[in-house]
Amino acid sequence: EILANPIELQRQFMFLMADYAKIWTNLQYAQEGRDTYPVIAPKSGDRRFKDERWTERPLHNAVMQAYLVTCRMIEDLVHNTKIDSDQKAFAEFTISQVLDALSPSNVWFLNPVVMDETIQTGGENFVKGLNKLLNDFDRDHPRIEMVNPAAFEVGKNIAITEGAVVYENKLVQLLQYAPTTDMVNKKPVFIVAPWINKYYILDLRQENSLVKYLVDQGHTVFITSWVNPSEELGDTAFEDYLEKGIYDCTDAIKKITGEETIQMVGYCIGGTLLGCALSHAQKTGRSFAHSATFITAMLDFTDPGPVSLFISDEQIEALEAFMEGHGGILPGIYLHTTFNLLRSNDLIWSFFVNNYMLGQDPYAFDLLYWNGDMTNLPSKMHAFYLRNMYLENNVVKPNCLKVLGAPIDLGDVNVPCFFISTKDDHIAPWKTIYKGFQAIGSQDKEFVLAGSGHVAGIVNPPVKKKNGYWVNKAKNVGVEEQWFNASEKQEGSWWTYWDQWLNAKNKGQAKARKITKKNTLEPAPGSYVKVKTKANAA
C-alpha cells in the first residue's frame, strides 16, 4: 500500500532528507562551538535517552535525532495508508516493535552510557552480561530477568500485612486482615482481585499497600487469593470464578462479620466478574453488595486498546488448540510476554541494556517482582473471556450473555458504584472504562480518573503526593471528553478520596473484628499465592 503511493513516499522522503540536513548542520555547529537547535526531542516518558550524555555529546545527539526523525517518517507513512483500521493497527504495532529493537540505545557503540562503562571496566560489563544472558536463556521458557529473584519473598518482605486465610475452596483462598483500630466500619470491604496475576499488587510493602491503608482507616478487609491453576483445573469456567470466588466468599464474609451486605471491590478482570455478579444477583434474588468499586475494570470492551491486536476468531481458535496441547491451561509466561510487548522499551529493551550490555544486576523493585510472578489461566475460562468480552463485547449488551443460567444486564445494577481508572492505562483505557460506567444502571455512581498507568496509578499511596486525580460531580456529563473537560484535578492520591466515599456509604461503627483461631486455616498470605509457575521456578 505504501509503495502504491509513490508521491506520498517521495514527499516523506524529502522531509526526512531535510531533517537529516538540519541534524548534520547542528553537528557541524556544535563542533564549532555555535548554538544548535534540536530538530526533534524524545517523547515525554521515553526513558531510552534520559541520560544527559545523549544531549551533551554532539555525535550521540545527532544519532539519537536521526533515529527519531526516521521513526517519525515511517510511523507517518504507516498511519497515512488507506487500509482497514484493524490492519493498520497491527501494522503500526509491528513497525513499532521493529523500530524499538533498532534503537541506537540498544547498540553498544552508539549508546554513550554503555561505551563509558566498557571503557571504565575494560569490557568486564560484557563478560558479566554474557553470563547473565546464558543464565536467563538456560531454562524451559527463556526470558530477560527483570528483578533479582532473591530480593523478595512473599510473606517475608512483601504481602506481609497481618491476616489469615479464613475460607478456601479449590479455586480461591479468602484472606481476612487483622484490625489496627479499636472501632471499624460496620460494612466490610471485599476485594475481588484479578486472577491473571497475584493479588499482592495491593499488598506489596507496608508503605505502598492499599490493603494496609484500608485497614488503618478502620475497614475490615477481605481479599481473594486465587489458585495458580495446573492441568487439573483446565476445565474451570468463568462461572466457577463467580460462584466460588464471589458467592462462596461473600457467604463466608457474612458469617464472619454478621453483615448481610458488603462494600464490594473488583480490580481489573475481577471488576468485570463483579459487574456480572451484581447483575446476576439482581436477576436471581441474591443479595451481597452494599456498594461496588471498580478499579481499572472494563465492562464495555468497545475499544480495549492494544491488547485487541492479539484477539480475533482465528487467534482464539489457535490459542484454544495451543492450550489443549498444554494440559488445558495457558502457561503464565505467554500472557506475561504479551503484556511486555505492549511496552517493549520499558519492559524488554531497558533490561536488555541494563543486564546484558551494562552487566548490571536487575533492579530490586517490588512492582517488577510482582510483574514477573506469573500465573497460569484455565483454557475454558480464558477462551470464554476473550470471546465474550474482547471479541463480542457481550457484557455491556443487555441480556446477551448468560452466566449461571441468568442473562446479564448491567442496567439492573442499583447499588452505589465508584469507578477509578488511570489516564495513561494501555491495558484498560480510561475512555473505555467510562463507557462501562455509563452502562451501569445505578443512579448513585461516580467516576474518578487517576494519573499515571494501569499499575502505578493505582498503587499510589498518599505519602508519595504524586500523580493526582480528576473528579467531576456533575450528573449526566456525556461522553468521555466532556467529562474530562468539565472535571477538576485534585492533588495527591485517589486513595483518600475513595476512603471518604466508602465512609459515606458505610452504616455506622462496630468493635474491631479480630481474627479468631476458629476461623483461621493458615496465616496470611496463605499457600495459594506461593505456588509458582514453571517459568517462575526456573
Q: Would you mind telling me the total number of residues written for the chain in this entry?
A: 538
What CA–CA distance (Å, rounded) separates 401 from 268?
A: 19
**Interior/surface letters 77-96, b for 16+ CB within 10 angstroms, e for the rest:** bbeebeeeeeebebbbeebb
DSSP letter assigned to residue 312: S
Which of helix, strand or coil describes residue 261?
Answer: coil
Which of 268, 276, 400, 417 is labelled catalytic? 268
Give yes or no for a contact between 24 and 54, defined as CB atoms under 8 angstroms apart: no
Residue 287 to residue 285: CA distance in whole angstroms: 7
Cα 186 from chain centre: 31
Task: Identify whether 268 is a catalytic site residue.
Answer: yes
Cα angle, residue 294 at apex, residues 513 and 519 outer, rounded to 5°: 25
| Helix-, strand-, coil-residue percentages of the chain, each rounded to 5 | 45, 15, 40
Report yes or no: 171 and 526 within 8 Å, Cβ to Cβ. no
Which of 473, 476, 500 is closest to 487 using CA atoms?
A: 473
Give the other-Cβ count within 10 Å of 534's Cβ. 15
- Distance set, CA 29 to CA 38, 62, 65, 70 (Å): 12, 12, 15, 22
Q: Report CA Rg, the chain.
A: 25
Q: Which residues are catalytic?
A: 268
